Amino acid sequence: MRIIGGVYAKRIIRPPKNLPVRPTTDLAKESLFNILRNKITFENKKALDLFAGSGSLSYEFSSRGCDQVISVDSNFKCIQFIKKTANDFGMSSINPLRSEVFRFIKTTKLKFDIIFADPPYQMDNINEISIEIFKNELLNPDGWLIIEHPKEITLNEQEYFFEHRKYGHVNFSFFKISL
């Protein structure tokens, strides 16, 4: 696994084997950031990485210039790995937080320009992620929400949905309040 673009491009990420993660593939990450790069600038933006796992997307956001990246995961080992890796790479913009994601969504007062959620594919309530994010008003005006999900899940009936993309076994659904 590697960082695809930005100032830290090509740096290798080596999560320990015992982390309970399913990292987004490099191909899917590259495709996702090609889409985003053509739609937004990352500088002076705040990003939220939900179900952060190894922190792969957090490092991409930081590498591309986001001022603040909050990485939320409930697993202590994942948070420790993200802290160590961000420190080793000198990524001071990354702030890993150990929390259950839905609790974080319901209690945070922060707002973000980009929210990426990569929940466990076997999670029963993936469809509630966008509902809770919009209900709790976590996106800034013109902010983007991207949810990675298995092909069996369809989110295109949900409010603010505007696009679905598929890259191999990886599916992304995009949400935005204003188009």
Distance of CA 34 to CAs 12, 29, 55, 126, Å? Answer: 20, 8, 19, 25
Return the DSSP state at 25: P
For 94-120, write each residue's pLDDT tens digit.
Answer: 999 999 999 999 999 999 999 999 999
pTM of the model: 0.94
Mean pLDDT, the chain, whole residue set: 93
Q: What is the mean pLDDT of residues 140-148?
A: 94
- The SS3 of residue 121 is coil
Tell me phi and psi for residue 141, to 5 degrees: -55, 140
For 6-19, write each residue's pLDDT tens digit.
Answer: 999 999 999 888 88
pLDDT of residue 179: 56
Domains in the chain with CATH codes: 26-176 (3.40.50.150)
Instruction: Mark residue 6 as left, alpha or beta (left: phi above 0; alpha: psi -120 to 50; beta: remaining).
Output: left
